Structure 1
Amino acid sequence: MRHWVQSLDDTVPGKFEVTRTGVVHDLMAPNGRHELTRARLRKRLEKVMPEALVAHTGEPDVEDEPEGIMRRPDVMVIAEAEMEGEGSFDPRSIIAAVEIVSRSNPDNDWVSKTRDYPLIGIPVYAIFDPRTGTGAVLTDIHPTPDGPRYATRKDFVYGEDVTIGDWTISTDGLPRYEG
């Protein structure tokens, strides 16, 4: 599935990810408010994290081949040293994944990734939703009959401080989608 998705990346608009249940295709390119949110979160995280860590916003994907899952978080907190290898990042090297909810496919962030990220071992998942000016930080992976899930969810409203992993950042001034 990975090779098929990668072959489409440069020929079909949008972003592809492989989930446990199939391929997700977000037809819409991220808009300016989505990208501004991502840039502000990256900068805010990097101000408070140790220098050996980065809030990465690009490629490559995060892939767990045995589970058949390939994702690309909007922001990945990862040790800079982990970025020196080739190929996809090992999900167990990701300290936190941050997603900005897409206007065109919000269930991908609120439902699918909430299922996939604990399954592949990402310990902290933060969701920022510019549609509503709210979000949540999910932590504490635990086993369930349906597979690993996050046990703890801390909701927040834009304007409040939010703790992602060991770092607290402001959500003041994060843009909202219009309309």
Structure 2
Amino acid sequence: MTIAPGDARRDAHLYETMRGVVERMRHDVPGKLEITKEGIVHDLPAPGGRHELTALRVRRRLEKVMPDEIVAHTGAPDVEDEPERVMRHPDIMVIAEADMDIEGSFDPRTLIAAIEIVSRSNPDNDWVGKMRDYPLLGIPVYAIFDPRTASGAVFSDIHSTPEGPRYATRKDFLYGEDVTIADWTIATEQLPRY
């Protein structure tokens, strides 16, 4: 569905409709439902154990080196920017514990970093869609771990472009190398592959 540019009421109504659909289906549909500028994205369930094991190991390694008031959160809620009409759910959200004490979705601008473990079923969601949405939402650091290739990248330094905000800096890594996410460096050894 295409919406005419500048039709804010219609855009807002469509977003609220999509939000309602996501909320109603969230517990009945396997995987994650997110809202982007293009509509609802359904990320099918990841290959279970290896996806979750990667998230667990990355989360634990980060929490060992971060101060106690910063957490690597893997649960609910989503991050949402209603004016931009985008609602996403990172696999790991690096956020101050104090910023979690809210009702509703997290403000994406309170995240220190968003981390995604690439899904085998929909890798473009992480490498393309979230690459567009996370700088738009003001998330300063975006890290991608890709178990398909045993590699990843960390993106930072949001800057303006004619197509909207984008990350200016990309640092690639291979599993086995240390990686720096925001202010913290962790090992990437012994992360599972698909």
For the Cα contact (< 8 Å) 1:15–1:29, is it kept in 2?
A: no
For the Cα contact (< 8 Å) 1:26–1:105, is it kept in 2?
A: yes
Task: Please give the per-residue CA displacement for 1:29-77, whole angstroms capped at 9, x wherever unaligned.
Answer: 4510000000000000000001110000000000000111000100000
Give the aligned partner of residue 49 of structure 1: 66
Quick one: which of 153, 161, 167 aligns to 1:144? 161
Give the aligned partner of residue 84 of structure 2: 67
Root mean square deviation, CA, Å:
0.8
Task: In structure 1, list runs of 5 or more residues that go unmatched.
Answer: none
Give the aligned partner of residue 24 of structure 2: 7
Runs of 4+ in 1 over 2 A off after TM superposition: 27-30
Give the aligned partner of residue 163 of structure 1: 180
Alignment-mate amino acid for residue 63 of structure 2? E
- Does residue 45 of structure 2 align to residue 24 of structure 1? no
Which TM-score applies when normalising by structure 1? 0.97
For the Cα contact (< 8 Å) 2:118–2:144, is it kept in 1?
A: yes
Q: 1:112 to 1:30 in 2, by over 3 A?
A: same
Which TM-score applies when normalising by structure 2? 0.90
CA offset at residue 14 of structure 1?
A: 2.1
Paired with 1:146 and 1:19, the residues of 2 have a C-alpha distance of 15
Larger of the two Rg values belongs to structure: 2
Give the SS at the match of 2:87: strand
Alignment-mate amino acid for residue 17 of structure 1? E
For the Cα contact (< 8 Å) 1:137–1:153, is it kept in 2?
A: yes
Paired with 2:175 and 2:31, the residues of 1 have a C-alpha distance of 27
Quick one: which of 148, 151, 162 aligns to 1:131? 148
Count how many residue pairs are aligned between Structure 1 and Structure 2.
Answer: 177
Quick one: which of 131, 156, 172 aligns to 1:114? 131
Give the SS at the match of 1:104: coil
Give the SS at the match of 1:122: coil
